[in-house]
DNA sequence: ACGCGGCTAAACAGTT
DNA sequence: GAACTGTTTAGCCGCG
């Protein structure tokens, strides 16, 4: 019954034409960022206001209805009012359809936690209401509605303050689109798959604890306690039936069957053969509320993807127009990049953000910088943060990915500072890079162990738990890596960073492991398809546009001949002008990268040069004025230090232009907040 | 299959 | 003695 009411509300609510997006976000998390109405100009805030107004209007009507019933029939005449009937008989709420429908109608267009508030009100009035108290009850309800209104406004303010509800409609829609990424959708499916029958859902909702929800609604990335409720509202009894006709079912292949398992969203049931699958399909995915809801969500998925595709295509056109390129050949341009995304890089991406963290919509160029995609498009709540398929209990992400693949930790942290602070998400950085960052961020570039601990817990919600594990790891890293230097101080021991040693940690191997992801990506791009000079240059252009760091890495790759002559010729033919564009890359940067390869964090090397105007990559001398315990690391490559030193000298002589400096994201002076 | 980097766990010693 | 700090080793895993 709740389902019907919900769908009815959706149909009659102009702003809720998309089931997925029919709910205002109860907690600012991912479930709120999926408005499919991206063509309109309604911002989420407007949407919330609209819903709020509608809710209040419906509530007022409901109250008026009750009031008129009271007035017309007298205080003892209770049969005309559903509430009074309920009050009179003291029966349970959902034995009376009409008041519940009314309440549900009101509540569905409220945010999920307000829905729970309504249900709570319903339950309270059901069990406690007495005829004599009805007048005061109405007053109380009216007051609660006002309170709800205030709460919701507060909620909107919270969302705005957290940046989760942008004020600009277009930006808002864009972020909402990004929020609806495949992993989110997959999770959505799982949620919908778990949808109980409507009556069960109502029962469950009725039993929800309000106290917990209020806190959820104010946290930045709440556990999606209310995530189920919006999905209930998706259910529409009039949507398509997912059942295939018999001809299609027995054709030997089925769109919903592949690799021995059911491809019904969120199902993944194993079926040995088609017959078993058909049986499974008929049994498990018959025409019922759940299947209907799932089908409806799938419609939203498709719609969302289409909208996303349209937007990305438009963006591509604009980019190409801007770059004076011919938009007539988008296919070879898209193809290599998509291939890259479906290859090892995508796997790596999924490793980093297995299910929970959002994978932003795959645009033409995003695969090149997969690691920038995680929290950078924060839309996910911590709903999935425990779903990382870690090997161990607390689960280390194999994070050297980001560390290695040119994700500047400073910019990542700067962009997603609040995210890591609030969400219980493990940061995609190695301990070493985090420790280094913590130390370099400190005023004196030195921290005690305890201060490092504090930095970890201050910056990352994740490190507020499992303290024994990660603290041990921190100590282990401090001891193990030569780049961390223990300095005996007056106050005790402090830890500093030896940048030279840090850069030496991974010796350059241009053809082996340890390469920057961007170069690897480009190799995949280049080798996966038959490249024409134009397609190659197009790929390059997008890569370069999307990832300034990639410019450096790419050139470094070229400089070391990791691309063969034909590729370089293609580059020279088609992309030379672009590569020589001051806005993208400069000769100094090019020469810089001819020498600088193999470091996990490109900008960190530049950082040494520019951080304090000195070309010395080492720490300031005063930091070594005390006793220093020198550690030895087994792997040392002499050429590394030479290249770094040489690099420092070159970059010192060739100051970077302002544009280039803008690309340096890992400067230690860059504050996180 | 192998090597490497990264992580966790644990043992141990020294210091506070 | 407990807690903290620092070192070292072992084993596992993912990746190239």
Å between CA of A453 and C1' of C2: 20
Q: What is the mean pLDDT of residues A479-483?
A: 88
Whether the per-residue pLDDT at A443 is higher than 80: the answer is yes
φ/ψ bin of A74: left (φ > 0), alpha (ψ from -120 to 50), beta (otherwise)? left
* Closest-lying nucleotide for A480 based on CA to C1': C7
Q: What is the mean pLDDT of residues A525-540?
A: 34
Whether the per-residue pLDDT at A478 is higher than 90: the answer is yes
Q: Across all residues in chain A, what is the average pLDDT?
A: 47
* Closest-lying nucleotide for A390 based on CA to C1': C13
Question: pLDDT, tens digit, for every residue of A322-334?
Answer: 655 544 433 333 3
Pick from A138, A142, A153, A180: which is nearest to A38 by CA?
A180
Considering only CA atoms, give the Rg of chain A: 29
Total residues belonging to chain A: 673
- DSSP per-residue string spanning A160-174: HHTTSS-SSHHHHHH
CA distances from A185 to A31, A74, A382 (A): 10, 53, 15
Question: pLDDT, tens digit, for every residue of A491-524?
Answer: 788 999 888 878 776 543 332 222 222 222 333 2
Whether the per-residue pLDDT at A440 is higher than 70: the answer is yes
Nearest residue to B4 via alpha carbon and C1'? A513
Pick from A156, A153, A148: which is nearest to A56 by CA?
A148
Whether the per-residue pLDDT at A412 is higher than 70: the answer is yes
Percent of all residues in chain A with a pLDDT value above 90, rounded to a whole number: 3
Nearest residue to B8 via alpha carbon and C1'? A469
* Closest-lying nucleotide for A475 based on CA to C1': C6
Pick from A515, A553, A545: which is nearest to A344 by CA?
A515
A629 in helix, strand or coil? strand
Nearest residue to B7 via alpha carbon and C1'? A396
A178 or A60, higher pLDDT:
A60
Whole-angstrom distance, CA of residue A182 vs CA of residue A176: 13
Whole-angstrom distance, CA of residue A411 vs CA of residue A451: 22
Question: pLDDT, tens digit, for every residue of A335-390?
Answer: 333 323 332 222 333 333 333 333 333 333 332 333 333 333 333 333 233 333 33
Highest mean pLDDT among A2-16, A452-466, A501-515: A452-466
* Closest-lying nucleotide for A600 based on CA to C1': B5
CA angle in degrees (0–180, nearest 5) for A568-A594-A634: 125
pLDDT class for A473, splitting at 50, 70, 90? Answer: very high
Q: What is the mean pLDDT of residues A545-555?
A: 34
Whole-angstrom distance, CA of residue A560 vs CA of residue A552: 12
Whether the per-residue pLDDT at A165 is higher than 60: the answer is no
Whether the per-residue pLDDT at A12 is higher than 80: the answer is no
Question: pLDDT, tens digit, for every residue of A579-607?
Answer: 233 333 333 333 333 333 333 333 333 33
Percent of all residues in chain A with a pLDDT value above 70, rounded to a whole number: 22
Residues near strand B (C-beta below 7 A) are A 392-396, 398-400, 403-404, 429-432, 466, 468-470, 472-473, 475-477, 492, 505-507, 513-514, 600, 635
Whether the per-residue pLDDT at A425 is higher than 70: the answer is yes
- The tokens describing A653, both together, are 């002589």
Pick from A571, A530, A567, A63: which is nearest to A336 by CA?
A530
* Closest-lying nucleotide for A393 based on CA to C1': B8
Whether the per-residue pLDDT at A296 is higher than 90: the answer is no
Residue A496 forms beta bridges with which residues? A485
Q: Beta strand pairing status for A493-497 and A484-488? A: antiparallel
Å between CA of A215 and C1' of B5: 41
């Amino acid at each position: 019954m709740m389902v019907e009411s919900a769908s009815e509300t959706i149909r009659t609510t102009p702003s809720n034409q998309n089931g997925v997006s029919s709910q205002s976000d109860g907690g600012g998390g991912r479930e709120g960022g999926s408005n499919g109405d991206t063509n309109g100009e309604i911002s989420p805030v407007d949407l919330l206001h609209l819903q709020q107004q509608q809710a209040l209007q419906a509530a007022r009507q409901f109250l008026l209805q009750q009031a008129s019933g009271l007035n017309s029939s007298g205080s003892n005449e209770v049969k005309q009012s559903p509430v009074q009937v309920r009050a009179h008989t003291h029966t349970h709420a959902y034995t009376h359809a009409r008041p519940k429908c009314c309440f549900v109608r009101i509540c569905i267009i409220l945010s999920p936690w307000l829905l729970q508030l309504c249900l709570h009100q319903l339950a309270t009035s059901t069990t406690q209401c007495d005829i004599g108290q009805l007048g005061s009850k109405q007053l109380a309800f009216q007051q609660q509605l006002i309170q709800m209104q205030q709460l919701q406004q507060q909620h909107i303010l919270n969302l705005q303050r957290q940046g989760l509800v942008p004020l600009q409609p277009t930006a808002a829609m864009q972020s909402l689109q990004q929020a609806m990424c495949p992993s989110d959708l997959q999770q959505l499916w799982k949620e919908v798959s778990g949808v109980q029958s409507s009556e069960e859902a109502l029962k469950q909702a009725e039993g929800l604890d309000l106290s917990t929800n209020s806190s959820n609604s104010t946290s930045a990335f709440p556990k999606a306690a209310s995530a189920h409720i919006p999905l209930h509202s998706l259910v529409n009894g009039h949507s398509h039936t997912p059942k295939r006709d018999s001809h299609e079912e027995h054709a030997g292949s089925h769109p919903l069957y592949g690799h021995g398992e059911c491809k019904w969203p969120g199902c993944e049931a194993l079926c040995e053969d088609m017959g078993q699958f058909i049986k499974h399909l008929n049994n498990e995915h018959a025409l019922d509320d759940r299947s209907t809801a799932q089908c409806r969500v799938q419609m939203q998925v498709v719609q969302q993807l289409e909208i996303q595709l349209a937007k990305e295509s438009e963006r591509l056109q604009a980019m190409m127009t801007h770059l004076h390129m011919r938009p007539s050949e988008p296919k070879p341009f898209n193809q290599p990049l998509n291939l890259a995304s479906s290859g090892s890089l995508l796997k790596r991406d999924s490793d980093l953000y297995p299910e929970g963290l959002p994978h932003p919509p795959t645009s033409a160029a995003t695969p090149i910088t997969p690691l920038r995609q995680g929290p950078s498009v924060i839309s996910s709540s911590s709903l999935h943060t425990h779903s990382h398929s870690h090997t161990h209990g607390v689960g280390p992400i194999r994070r050297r990915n980001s560390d290695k693949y040119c994700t500047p930790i400073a910019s990542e942290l700067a962009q997603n500072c609040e995210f890591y602070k609030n969400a219980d998400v493990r940061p995609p950085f190695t301990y070493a890079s985090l420790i280094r960052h913590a130390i370099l961020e400190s005023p004196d570039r030195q921290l005690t162990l305890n201060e490092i601990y504090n930095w970890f817990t201050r910056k990352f919600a994740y490190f507020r738990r499992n303290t024994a594990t990660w603290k041990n790891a921190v100590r282990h890293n401090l001891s193990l890596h030569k780049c961390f230097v223990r300095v005996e101080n007056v106050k005790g021991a402090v830890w500093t960073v030896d940048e030279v040693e840090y850069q030496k940690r991974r010796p350059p191997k241009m053809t082996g492991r340890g390469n920057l992801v961007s170069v690897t990506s480009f190799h995949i791009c280049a080798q996966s398809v038959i490249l024409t000079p134009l397609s190659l240059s197009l790929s390059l252009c997008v890569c370069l546009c999307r990832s300034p760091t990639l410019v450096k890495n790419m050139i470094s790759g070229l400089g070391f001949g990791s691309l063969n002559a034909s590729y370089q010729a293609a580059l020279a033919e088609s992309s030379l002008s672009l590569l020589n564009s001051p806005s993208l890359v400069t000769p100094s940067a090019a020469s810089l990268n001819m020498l600088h390869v193999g470091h996990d964090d490109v900008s960190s090397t530049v950082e040494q040069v520019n951080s304090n105007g000195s070309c010395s990559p080492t720490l300031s001398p005063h930091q070594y004025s005390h006793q220093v315990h020198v550690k030895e690391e087994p792997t040392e490559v002499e050429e590394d230090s030479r290249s770094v030193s040489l690099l420092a000298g070159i970059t010192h002589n060739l100051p970077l232009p302002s544009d280039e400096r803008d690309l340096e994201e890992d400067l230690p002076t860059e504050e996180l907040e």
